[in-house]
Amino acid sequence: MLVPLSWLKEYVDITLTTKGLGEKLTEVGLGCEKIIKTSDDTIFELEITPNRSDCLSIIGVAREVAAIENKKIKLPHLRQGFGGQAKLRKILPLTIKTDFKINPRFTGIIITGIKVGESPKWLKDKLVKVNQRSINNIVDITNYVMLELGNPLHTFDYNKIAGHIMTVSQAKGGEKFESVDGVIYHLPKDAVIISDKEKVIDLCGIKGGKNSGTFGETKNIFIRVPVEIPNLTRRTSQTLGLRSEASSIFERGVNTGGTIDTLKRAVDLVLEIAGGEIASELYDIKSEDFKPWKLKLRIERLNEILGIEIADKKVLGILETLNLSPVLKNNIIETTIPTYRNDLKIEEDLIEEVARIYGYNNFPKTMPIGEIPTKQIPYFKDYKLDEKVKNILTASGFSEIYTYSLIGEKELPQGINSQNLLRVDNPVSRDFEYLRPTLKINLIKALSQNKSNFEKINLFELGKVYLGKNLDEAKEAYFLSGITNNKNFFEVKGLLEAIFKDLGIKMDPTKYIEILSEGIFFELNYSEILKNINLNKTFKPLPKYPPIVEDLSIIAGENIMTSDLISGIKNQSSIIANVSLLDQFEDSRTFHIVYQDENRNLTGEEVARIRSKILKSLQAKFHAELKG
Amino acid sequence: MEEELMQIKNSAVSMIIEATDQKELEEIKLQFLGRSGKLTLTLKEIVKVPVERRAAVGQLANEVKRVIEETIKNHESRIKNQESKTKIEKIDVTNPGIKPDIGRLHPLTQVLYEVVDIFKQIGFQVADGPEIETDHYNFEVLNIHKDHPARDTQQTLYLDTRGSKSDPGKIILRTHGSNMQGRIMETTRPPVRAIYPGKVFRYEQVDVSHGFEFWQLEGLAVDKNLTLTDLFGTMSYVIKEFFGLDTKVKFVSHNFPFTEPSAETYMSCTVCKGKGCSFCKHSGWVEILGCGMIHPNVLKAVGYDSQKVSGFAWGMGFSRMVTLKYQMDDLRLLTNPDLRILEQF
């Protein structure tokens, strides 16, 4: 929203500096994005939040400035009184058929004998300042009045309304409609439109039709100031990808009580600039009276939510500058909400009004004093676990990366069919269409990306993958995956073993490791793995008696697994505390065996007995022999 | 003779143990094992030993020789070590150190741990929830009904519902971490203090400050008597703890459908410390988070009585916190796996 300072000053006195006003506007909620200095003016570029349709007008912004400056606002003088049909010299007929469900208020009037021409300089200048093109005096007046007051309006060439009938209805879908600016649209179903006897002449709340617009030859006009339904305007505008200043206002909710004054202002200007005279009754077809409403604010509640006590006088003063007519009785303030403030519906809305004008930065800062919650919250996540795991990985040389969850079909490796992946209906591009079922694709990509700068590359990611063929089966899981071109299979296995040990997981990580042409890759379902952790660590006293240690070289067939030999040895006696593979050469494997008893010294004879038991069992089970 | 041999052994061993350098060891070796060394000379006398004892004495002599040789050998390595230790002063210490083979944690993770710790100190627990979300938790519970203009500011990625029982348009990738507000509050009673960091998704074209995937850290607190000043205090505390105590914080009024009153929060620019620079578009301030008192409609939707409890909630651009902290000028750096970036942190 562009707001020229000179225009604001027509309605309110400003004492703040330009910069100070910009900061204050931001503080009260009209985010001042930019202050543009022109040769003769200063333009504020404001970001208006969706709740404040009133501030999509200069008067709306001026009201906020008045509250900031604690000044009264000067509204434009309205001459027009709509004296009634008796005074009219000429009456032009018009039949209006409307439906309150889709058009709660339809205000309008006919003016005859106007002269369409160029706008006066003051009007053109105003429009140029807010980046609007001057078209002709009538169109410019409607744009000007909308900008000034915030109620959109549209003028029809009365002579082009076939049969002098206007019917408000909803499109069946597919109707052709040419907007005033000459673009052809196919209307979506349920778009609110006005038709005359023959054709669609208006796409309500969004754009007028070319077939009924005001051009050079226009003599008689019908000015319509409507209240449209936000949802309906919004849906049509979105479907067509067609936004206008009017539609932005309607979809946020227009000032329902502002149609008459808007029409008066427009008529004043038309008569002044384009001449002519009123040629119809005032049409104001409405579903209800659209009166201001009452809203209560309990002083106690105000203090409770804000955390400070603001003096009653100050609170009343703030509400007064906002034109909310506050009346204090028994610690309750009753306000009357003008129809342009349709964002004020509940007590909390009033609390915010007081707070923002009081100034957020005038509040003290406190910390919550209540009890600290002690029960575990739902969806609890223990980041300490991640930290443990990541520390082992980084200590082993792996660096952490984060990659996108969304991947493209062409990146999928063989064996992964896009049909089996969760898919985004409206991807930002084809490269980010599917939810990743594995971290492998991105890790391989990351490895090759680094190849030009690094020889040794070790990367890992702890991130979500998205499992399931369709949304009914969809499941999110954290995967822990890594890739290295610099460590061998057993180093990676040892790393995973170390992680498992730290988490108290009794599992063999072999199956999680894969040898790829790019390097060694591992991937495990971290969410699943975490179900098996045991972080309880209890101290075991150091052995009081020394162990006997020996290395046995065993000759065994190639197809016999080391893990089987180790458990084969270990199972032979409870005093075998540990067995590990020391060396491997051709068909011989050397095992390092630690014999230990917690309660006594072992003798050579005892160990010899166990040794022969081991050898016997290895011989029987695996045809393995002691290397001699 | 045997006694003599034992004496030779003992004196040799004690001398060897006390030797301090290689030269001394060489001398001891010569003194005992050399051509005219004590042991050699003694062995020449062996012929004088009666024949019946000669074999035993011979064996003992060999044993003595072996012990001396072995002791010398052991102590040679001890002395070598000692010598090399004193030699270290001769190397060029200005040579660069040898880089240990350790990896780096992603800056996002480092910042996350830091922020989680700050919140933990003031009683907040961490939660983690789904990214594939229903329209209900992402929007409806939060007072953002269908056709609400606020939906424009959170352009949504919709998931393909084919082959499932879900209605088209109802399952989305969450557009903000606030989806956890409803999920958490629905299943627990106040008092509750929670933060929920995580990835969020938007239908947005990528540029230096926008992405279709980025991280947020949102949170809430609900209790009896929580106030706007508590919200301001908590946010200021966290920002100052994280960015430094000299950081300035200011709040401005804003509108979010799920909070009332609402505020946008700014902090002094990390690059220029508030003087104004290109990083902060010369304003001296950068936007860091949105927050507010939880809207009564939201409290009602999760079954809380807004007259009995109140709460506040906030959402901070977590990716942005990371880029602000390290003065990174492009959000995309966080998803770039280039080790030249990662090794800086």
Q: Model confidence over A481-531: pLDDT tens digits?
A: 999 999 999 999 999 999 999 999 999 999 999 999 999 999 999 999 999
State the best of A25, A383, A462 to mutate against chain B, taking most chain B CBs within 10 Å: A383
pLDDT at A85: 67
Q: Which of B103, B152, B164 sits opposite A472 (nearest CB)?
A: B164
Query: Domain for residue B100, yes or no?
Result: no
Phi and psi based region of residue B7 (left: phi greater than 0; alpha: psi -120 to 50; beta: remaining): alpha
B90 pLDDT tier (thresholds 50, 70, 90): confident
The string of pLDDT tens digits covering residues A419-440 is 999 999 999 999 999 999 999 9
Nearest-neighbour CA in chain B from A495: distance (Å) = 13
CA proximity to A518, closest of A594, A579, A442, A427: A442
Q: How far apart are CA A38 and CA A200, in angstroms?
A: 42
Residue B284 has φ and ψ, to the nearest 5°, of 85, -10
Where does a domain end: A362, A394, A420?
A362
CATH number for the domain spanning A618: value is 3.30.70.380
Asked if A568 and A622 sit in the same domain, the reply is: yes
State the best of B118, B147, B206, B207 to mutate against chain A, taking most chain A CBs within 10 Å: B147
State the best of A46, A228, A251, A305 to mutate against chain B, taking most chain B CBs within 10 Å: A305
Query: In total, how many domains does chain B have?
Result: 2
Q: Which of B126, B226, B234 sits opposite A383 (nearest CB)?
A: B126
Largest CA distance in chain B: 120
How does DSSP assign A393-444, residue by residue? HHHTTPEE----SEE-GGGPPTT--GGGS-BBSS-SSGGG-EE-S-SHHHHH
Q: Span A582-610, mean pLDDT?
A: 90
Q: Which of B122, B159, B184 sits opposite A378 (nearest CB)?
A: B184
Structure token digits, residue B285: 């301030």
Residue A168 has φ and ψ, to the nearest 5°, of -90, 125
Asked if B229's CB is within 8 angstroms of A308's CB, the reply is yes
Query: Domain for residue A374, yes or no?
Result: no
pLDDT at B88 > cutoff 70: no
Q: Which of A308, A348, A473 sits opposite B260 (nearest CB)?
A: A348
pLDDT above 90 as % of chain A? 91
**CA A448 to chain CA mean position, Å:** 34
- CA-to-CA separations, B224 to A37, B186, B189, B191, B292, in angstroms, rounded: 49, 17, 11, 8, 16
* Range of the structural domain that residue B18 is part of: 2-90
State the best of B339, B340, B342 to mutate against chain A, taking most chain A CBs within 10 Å: B339
Asked if A234's CB is within 8 angstroms of B203's CB, the reply is no
Q: Which of A383, A401, A469 sits opposite B113 (nearest CB)?
A: A383
Q: Span A51-69, mean pLDDT?
A: 96
The string of pLDDT tens digits covering residues A190-241 is 999 999 999 999 999 999 999 999 999 999 999 999 999 999 999 999 999 9
Nearest-neighbour CA in chain A from B193: distance (Å) = 7
Asked if A375's CB is within 8 angstroms of B188's CB, the reply is yes
- Residue numbers in A near B261 (CB within 8 A): 305, 348, 351-352, 355-356
**What are A177's strand-pairing partners?**
A185
Asked if B126's CB is within 8 angstroms of A381's CB, the reply is yes
How does DSSP assign B71-94, residue by residue? HHHHHHHHHHHHHHHHHGGGS-TT
B206 pLDDT tier (thresholds 50, 70, 90): confident
Asked if A181 and A267 sit in the same domain, the reply is: yes
- Residue numbers in A near B148 (CB within 8 A): 50
Residue of chain B whose alpha carbon sits nearest to that of A251: B149
pLDDT at B84: 67
pLDDT at B85: 65
Asked if B225's CB is within 8 angstroms of A367's CB, the reply is no
Asked if A280 and A341 sit in the same domain, the reply is: no
Where does a domain end: A486, A508, A532?
A532
Q: How far apart are CA A371 and CA B191, in angstroms?
A: 7
Structure token digits, residue A611: 């040794």
* Range of the structural domain that residue A308 is part of: 296-362
Asked if A422's CB is within 8 angstroms of B160's CB, the reply is yes
**CA B285 to chain CA mean position, Å:** 29
Query: Domain for residue B148, yes or no?
Result: yes
State the best of B227, B281, B322 to mutate against chain A, taking most chain A CBs within 10 Å: B227
Tally DSSP H helices, then E strands, for chain B.
11, 10
Q: Span B106-128, mean pLDDT?
A: 96
Q: Span A50-58, mean pLDDT?
A: 95
Residue B334 near residue B323 (C-beta atoms within 8 A): yes
The string of pLDDT tens digits covering residues A356-404 is 999 999 999 999 998 888 899 999 999 999 999 999 999 999 999 999 9
How does DSSP assign A103-115, residue by residue? -SEEEEEEEES--
Where does a domain end: A507, A532, A557?
A532
Asked if A98 and A209 sit in the same domain, the reply is: yes
pLDDT at B82: 74
Upstream peptide bond of B191 is cis (omega within 30 degrees of 0): yes
Residue A257 near residue A289 (C-beta atoms within 8 A): no
Upstream peptide bond of B257 is cis (omega within 30 degrees of 0): no
CATH number for the domain spanning B296: value is 3.30.930.10
Query: Domain for residue A74, yes or no?
Result: no
Asked if A422 and A526 sit in the same domain, the reply is: yes
Asked if A149 and A213 sit in the same domain, the reply is: yes
Q: How far apart are CA A289 and CA B301, in angstroms?
A: 32
Asked if A179 and A217 sit in the same domain, the reply is: yes
Query: Domain for residue B332, yes or no?
Result: yes
- Residue numbers in B near A31 (CB within 8 A): 252, 254, 264
Report helix, strand or coil for A280.
coil
CATH number for the domain spanning A65: value is 3.30.56.10
- Residue numbers in A near B260 (CB within 8 A): 346, 348-349, 351-352
Q: Span B83-109, mean pLDDT?
A: 83
Nearest-neighbour CA in chain A from B220: distance (Å) = 12
The position carrying tokens 């602000």 is B324
Q: How far apart are CA A193 and CA A171, in angstroms?
A: 7
pLDDT above 70 as % of chain A? 100
Output the average pLDDT for chain A: 94
Q: What ranges make up the beta strands (E) of chain B?
A: 125-126, 132-134, 157-158, 171-173, 192-201, 213-223, 249-256, 259-268, 285-294, 310-317
- Residue numbers in A near B200 (CB within 8 A): none
Query: Domain for residue B101, yes or no?
Result: no
CA proximity to B1, closest of B51, B60, B82: B60
Query: Domain for residue A424, yes or no?
Result: yes
Residue of chain B whose alpha carbon sits nearest to that of A22: B283
Asked if A585 and A439 sit in the same domain, the reply is: no
Query: In total, how many domains does chain A have?
Result: 5
